[in-house]
Structure 1
């Protein structure tokens, strides 16, 4: 392979896993694993199940030393500058290309050529994205993670990632460039805090060399072909070979060749067009500061969620809610919830203090829609309510289960402020901040604390005597790593709307008095708060059926896309947690329990003075049209 002769230098002073990398621009590179023939099928299956770290470029025949699809006149016995030799899963030797004592043992060996992230570095530079390891003249940093690959046969090991520091303002460019190179590991599998991958010390890479971050850089992790070395170490074959990390097989294929830019299968389409796949290029969004976490979603999914956000921002009740709108709060909340494992939801606004019960019909339907969707995605969900409303809400949940709106009862609990550490002990096991019970809190149409410590309805009436201090949970969560929060409201006096306090104070009626001062990380505003809950349920559906997002969530360790797509689309399309029949049933149940419309106090099928038909039914129909593409009669 005549491109290869001056590509790499061995630094003899380095550890066995450390080689000095000298950039080769213009050609695709490959990781190499050489295994006994009887393990070849297992390893190929392992590659297919873990396509991000192990994108299979070519599998040789037994004993084949050439590689016709990748390089002319290649001989794998000599075309890598340093090989590793393994016996019984132990690294026993490093062999240079001049050494030939193992050649006689290769007759029964099969060579696997796997894509390499060095193949996209030239494209990053062309896009103006700095490549720090090249700038610093080092090999890239590679880390063994705590993320298990999907096993196949005898092969099972942790995922290995490369890390490249990327300036925060260039993350989208880096994601797009690498997404378009799936055979060079594709888009990142993690952006943000290394500890979320189980990496405790960036200064000590398991392979390669340390790469220094510059001010403003974010750590970005790509799946790495060195995962194959971990597979050899764990499976313990009697004899195996690999390239030494950093010493790659150089192909004859230019990195600009169309064969290196094969977009992955698309959402719901078997043979996608180029334009269609461009809609699937991921966009990058900051989800959390503590710990630092970014997430990815396709341009198509993002566009649809923004459509949902526009729909729920309509204001038929003319409450002036548009003035509080902040773009992408819905999107960021949905992304955070998608990454969550355990969610606590609270609702309840006792605006009708003269009635019993004093609650309104806005809030519970949206809370139940979110809870049901989250449960269908395999997340734990808990509802938090006031003590005065505990039995009533338990009866409502039981009725929802009886009528089929809910498949199972949702745990219902209360919070009591019994001391300065009450919120901490509620949110975390044994009050330990490193062991949170919940990683996301959602408040929907929940009374929020004003600047004077009281709770007000929109008319400025103090209803503090009817409200438990659940706000304290949101206040405590701000200082607890790993817990994010969402507030959904339609007036500015709801829990979480403190993020928009200045706007509420200035622009909303009685804003100076009623404005909630307790913020959430994401403040979703809607013409009616229930609509915000419906939109969250729809947004979660869109993310669950977005391959770009699911690939990122699963660290690139996924089965063939068509299997995922069929199962996901079928199971969720038949159990989507939002429908006209369900929402009409929930509202009917609330009315039977004496819960009234917020604006008028009517004991009728309305929310905030707007009747279910045609106003709320129309909003639900339009949300479903965006989410599913069309509606069906049973919706």
Structure 2
């Protein structure tokens, strides 16, 4: 029988009092103790028996009884049990509920046959009024109080480690014989009653070439946190320093490793702190309850609904998740809009999966700045063309539906005209709410930084993503050219500077959408533009974007972005990743998102609005229902129909 409390001094084999962020400190190994290699192959009942006898010298249960599931433990007064259960249901990623005991129930029949919750965790914690009081080797001295308390058994990420290893993914914390690293995040959980806290995550370093295997292995294991909630820079979670774990140990990264974060059951510990119960118990982080349940949630790499991992940023490092099926749909959208109706050679500019990557990045963005406006008709008033504004407004409508902040920046001379277009679009049901219109003149060397960031501070960007669609782009000689090689610089404000500055501001991504290579953001493909596009040596845009989406007509690229964002947010795998597995799925909002997609009727109305304001077709110069010389019926209407058939 173990002592009910760990208090130094102890004999060499005993454990020392643990500080709040650690599991157990061990002095020396002594005869009779059992090492980790032996524990990996023991059945859970045998390990629990050794725990009761205090014969385990390791500091955590990671790797013990490999192939069997482990559980986090939270013990609360019965008066709080219903609310805590609802809290778990509302945040099932970090708190997947395996079993709720009755008041005073020591066993958990679905998970084990001979267990006793008072003795079978490697180490416990006691909390009084939400404050950590002490670490305990046993809860036997609290048997009387436990009669009115309910035990919650919650899924644990230690359960999926053997499944990950089977796919050839190293588990660094097991290799290094350390507790897993756990961090508090800035992500709020859904609140229920007195339970209000932020998400806690575990971090495991995963080799870059093994990321998809790790995701595939854990995705089906919903009872044990499922797929990761973030891959890449910890800054996105509000974690400042990976060398300062809030719980557990710091696990060393190897060259080529990427930090991968899973929702963690220690979120339950934070919930206990938040509710300020007079008395509560939890397991000590990393010292889990080992169940008799085998891990049989085998991954199926062949399923079309399986996840794929896509890198969307290198500085800061950021990956996203999406199902294979949705990724293929978005690739189909990219292929459809990539046709070349004017035989201009744009197929040579296409970069595979740019639409998927840019839309994944946009899906994570909270604030988006769009720019459009190509004054190709330099002898007309207004000089703008009908390609660009419809695609910009289609994207803005979807951003609004998804709850993102969106604004449009354009040339100062075009502000009043664009304001009237937006007002008419709202009146005719094309847009639901107004979009702020901005101008940028670039009058000082710091203008771009001050425009993009609060008080010019690069650590406080106002926008997460900049999108240029059919926006005149600056060539290598500093001029702006239309397709006929006419310099239109006198009509173009230096909005390119914002894209150049964004490359130096971590956290801002950029996308350029174009159909000829002289548009802002297409500098990424300028070599191909110079080689394959007529007048390419002169007109090629020199300013690159992170992502370049090429379409036969730029508006089509905007429509495709809107459709792809609808698909991504309707994808259960991606939607869960966006909300970090906290709160409830937002898939019920699909109807609102669908109503914000482009449609033949809406785009016809918008084109009529543009014509009414004197805006002409880009190729022909006609003041007619056409874009780039193509009639709305049946060229553009058929394109919209094809995109919607794939999307909805």
User: What TM-score comes out, normalization by structure 2 length?
Assistant: 0.90
Counterpart contact for 2:67–2:163, Cα < 8 Å: no
Counterpart contact for 1:11–1:18, Cα < 8 Å: no
Counterpart for residue 637 of structure 2: 617
Return the alpha-carbon distance in structure 2 between the equivalents of residues 387 and 240 of structure 1: 62
Q: CA deviation at 1:194?
A: 1.0
Q: CA deviation at 1:349?
A: 0.9
Q: CA deviation at 1:409?
A: 2.0
Counterpart for residue 310 of structure 1: 335
Counterpart contact for 1:365–1:586, Cα < 8 Å: yes
**Residue-by-residue CA offset, 1:226-282 (whole Å, 9 max, x unaligned):** 111111112111221111111111111112x2xx46x9xxxxxxxxxx99x933322
Q: CA deviation at 1:14?
A: 6.0
Q: Paired residue for 1:184, among 204, 224, 241?
A: 224
Counterpart contact for 2:201–2:261, Cα < 8 Å: yes
Counterpart contact for 1:317–1:610, Cα < 8 Å: no
Q: Paired residue for 2:167, among 116, 121, 127?
A: 127
Counterpart contact for 2:180–2:249, Cα < 8 Å: yes
Return the alpha-carbon distance in structure 2 between the equivalents of residues 579 and 104 of structure 1: 67
Q: CA deviation at 1:570?
A: 2.4
Return the alpha-carbon distance in structure 1 between the equivalents of residues 121 and 425 of structure 2: 65
Return the alpha-carbon distance in structure 2 between the equivalents of residues 419 and 244 of structure 1: 56
SS in 1 for 2:409: strand
Q: CA deviation at 1:11?
A: 6.1
Say yes or no: does 1:91 pair with 2:132.
yes
SS in 1 for 2:140: coil
Root mean square deviation, CA, Å? 1.7
Counterpart contact for 1:400–1:586, Cα < 8 Å: yes
Counterpart for residue 569 of structure 1: 590
Alignment of 1:138-217 (within 5 A): 138-217=178-257
Alignment of 1:18-167 (within 5 A): 18-19=22-23, 20-21=59-60, 23-24=63-64, 25-97=66-138, 100-167=140-207
SS in 1 for 2:16: coil
Say yes or no: does 1:249 pair with 2:289.
yes
Q: CA deviation at 1:456?
A: 0.9
**Residue-by-residue CA offset, 1:27-53 (whole Å, 9 max, x unaligned):** 111111111111110110010000011
Q: Paired residue for 2:570, among 545, 555, 577?
A: 545
Counterpart for residue 4 of structure 2: none
Counterpart for residue 479 of structure 1: 504
SS in 1 for 2:392: helix
Counterpart contact for 1:52–1:186, Cα < 8 Å: yes
**Residue-by-residue CA offset, 1:449-503 (whole Å, 9 max, x unaligned):** 1111111111111111111111011001100111111100001010000011111
Structure 2 gap ranges (5+)? 1-12, 24-58
Q: Paired residue for 1:336, among 361, 369, 373?
A: 361
Return the alpha-carbon distance in structure 1 between the equivalents of residues 147 and 15 of structure 2: 31
Alignment of 1:377-456 (within 5 A): 377-456=402-481
CA separation of 1:480 and 1:16: change in aligned 2, threshold 3 A = closer
CA separation of 1:232 and 1:172: change in aligned 2, threshold 3 A = same
User: What TM-score comes out, normalization by structure 1 length?
Assistant: 0.92
Moved more, 15-24 or 497-506: 15-24
Return the alpha-carbon distance in structure 1 between the equivalents of residues 15 and 233 of structure 2: 30
Return the alpha-carbon distance in structure 1 between the equivalents of residues 520 and 15 of structure 2: 59
Return the alpha-carbon distance in structure 2 between the equivalents of residues 557 and 11 of structure 1: 36
**Residue-by-residue CA offset, 1:342-365 (whole Å, 9 max, x unaligned):** 111111111122222221111010
Runs of 4+, deviation exceeding 4 Å: none
Q: Paired residue for 1:588, among 599, 605, 608?
A: 608
SS in 1 for 2:339: coil
Counterpart contact for 1:138–1:211, Cα < 8 Å: yes
Moved more, 238-247 or 220-229: 238-247
Q: CA deviation at 1:81?
A: 2.1
SS in 2 for 1:286: strand
Q: CA deviation at 1:309?
A: 0.6
**Residue-by-residue CA offset, 1:366-417 (whole Å, 9 max, x unaligned):** 0010011111111111111112212221221122122221222211111012
Give the number of aligned pairs: 599
Counterpart for residue 530 of structure 1: 555
Counterpart contact for 1:385–1:414, Cα < 8 Å: yes
